[in-house]
Amino acid sequence: MSPVTAGVLQLLALIAALALAYRPLGDYMARVYSSKKHYKPEKWIYKAIGANPDAEMRWPAYLRGILAFSAVSVLFLYGLQRAQGVLPGSLGFVAIDPDQAFNTAASFVANTNWQSYYGEQAMGHVVQTGGLAVQNFLSAAVGMAVAVALVRGFARSRTGELGNFWSDLVRGTVRILLPISVIGAVVLVACGVIQNFSGIHEVGQFTGGSQQWNGGAVASQEVIKELGTNGGGYFNANSAHPFENPTPFSNLFEIFLILLIPFTMTRTFGRMVGNLRQGYAILATMGIIWIAFTGLMMWTEFAHHGPALDAAGGAMEGKETRFGIAGSSVFAVATTLTSTGAVNSFHSSYTGFGGGITMLGMQLGEIAPGGVGSGLYGMLIMAIIAVFIAGLMVGRTPEYLGKKIGTREIKLAACYILITPALVLCFTAAAMALPTPGNSMTNSGAHGFSEILYAYTSGANNNGSAFAGLNADTQWFNSTIGIAMLLGRFLPMVFVLALAGSLAEQKPVPETAGTLRTDKPLYAGLLVGTILIITGLTYFPALALGPLAEGLAS
């Protein structure tokens, strides 16, 4: 069987698995967020934090809950890292430096999991399990809560109430993320992923000599890093490490976990607004972009020219021989079209065009299917923009799901789509203009520029993956990428929740013959075009200086 055929079969198996999970999980999540019942463990949590789960919140109160919870999370994780040297199970590792501790705390709370450190050489068991793994659950639950609040904005009318943040946070964690993670961790352990609390020990090498390895609760952290589209890794090699991703089956299973909730949340959306076809339209848009990007990535990596590449059957540099070009390509697209950032290969070793595809996937806003929660609300913002453009073309007040898209709504949507590119381009320009950040680049020219552009694209879009070759463990990068991650995560949430509140206050507009049908293939095509045009106009000049220039020169 040829590597191309094997890659196509992997992709078909992945699509089939996602299709089987789509309806039951999507409907289950809709029931979770619509239920009025509280389980006993949930009641204990509400009592411990002093929250009333039945109190409805308007968008400012919902936002305050998110920001207060996230601020406490950053402070807790920062303090845990700074105190690591005196904690049990530290494996002899000392406290993390202040700038790196801030960067890591911001990263995991912002659902980014950008890592400027070697996990197995810096973090002990308590920080890994009690700090980083916990935030993998909570940051994912926050993203899902914001998405559900926006969906309620469409579903409700004549009220500004969007639900209860604390209830949404706890239910998303206890009823959705935890059960799936338990099952997924068992599967990963069966595949060979390690799960223990062993200390550092010597391991012999085939070529002679030895090296030090430490164990850890890897399977339990691995499953939520993928399921919650967090990224990062217990080990520096991430999902290329055999302790994290030992077999081709575990590789495909991890990709499945990455895509599972972002795709199935479109079913949740359709169920909660009372129109499943609207969910299918969003799903179709996400699916078209994801399949197109995956096909393009496999083509550019398999078909790249050169004697060495022809002999290897494609561009194998930086890719795991266990997974091959196909397994690495599908993983790379999945992780950059979502806000995951986990990697099983080095994206900087991809062809110039291949590296550009990973960057463009993040620059779309990671909405196809995007991160857990963030992909859905990002796509719904784009849906509003597309409806607005269609309204301009026909001279009609735009409507979406029975809600008018007026001046206030379109301003909030515009602010949402502008904030992340502004962070990426401004920080990239500053890093290229100043001498100190430039010293961190291993490569010069177009590839060196791509390293910097990729880093801020990854940080501001809450992805977390990186081009190898950039030394990001400096005060400049730890501080500026940390700021980009926090602003890129929480500023867009301000606009999403304000938009949700504005929509919830409206009375529904009856559908007429002139209403744009947003559940038809024509609208899905318009939405795909809107996404690509907006991203292209925003990022094309920067991409032309980096990956496009490198790809055309090769």
Q: Is the peptide bond before 369 cis (omega within 30 degrees of 0)?
A: yes
Q: What is the average pLDDT across 15-29?
A: 97
For the chain, give the number of residues: 554
d(CA 8, CA 491): 39
Beta strand 399-400 with 200-204: parallel, antiparallel or unpaired? unpaired
**Short-list 551, 552, 340, CA closest to 458:** 340
Residue 441 in this model has a pLDDT that exceeds 90: no
Name the helix (H) or strand (E) containing 296: helix 276-302
The whole-angstrom separation of Cα 413 and Cα 270 is 21
Q: Count Cβ neighbours within 10 Å for each residue of 250-271 and write b for 16 or more, e otherwise.
A: bbbbbbbbbbbbbbbbbbbbbb
- Class of residue 447 by CB neighbours under 10 A (exposed 0-12, middle 13-18, buried 19+): buried
The structure's pTM equals: 0.94
Please give the pLDDT value at position 307: 54
Enumerate the H helices of 318-406 as residue ranges: 324-337, 352-363, 374-394
Average pLDDT over residues 264-293: 96
Q: Is 477 helix (H, G, I), strand (E, B) or coil?
A: helix
Average pLDDT over residues 158-163: 93
Model confidence at 519, pLDDT cuts 50, 70, 90, reads very high
In the chain, % of residues over pLDDT 70: 96
pLDDT confidence of 120, banded at 50, 70, 90? confident
Question: Quick one: how far is CA 530 from the chain centroid?
Answer: 21
What six digits make up the tokens of 103? 């960067």
Q: Is the dihedral of CA 183, 189, 192, 193 positive or negative?
A: positive
Q: Is the pLDDT of residue 436 over 80?
A: no
CA atoms of 131 and 73, how far apart (whole Å): 9
The answer on pLDDT for 385 being more than 90 is yes
pLDDT tens track for 196-243? 888 777 777 667 777 777 788 899 999 999 999 998 888 888 898 889
pLDDT in tens, 312-369: 556 677 777 788 888 899 999 999 999 998 998 888 788 888 888 999 999 998 899 9
Pair of tokens at residue 253? 């299973």
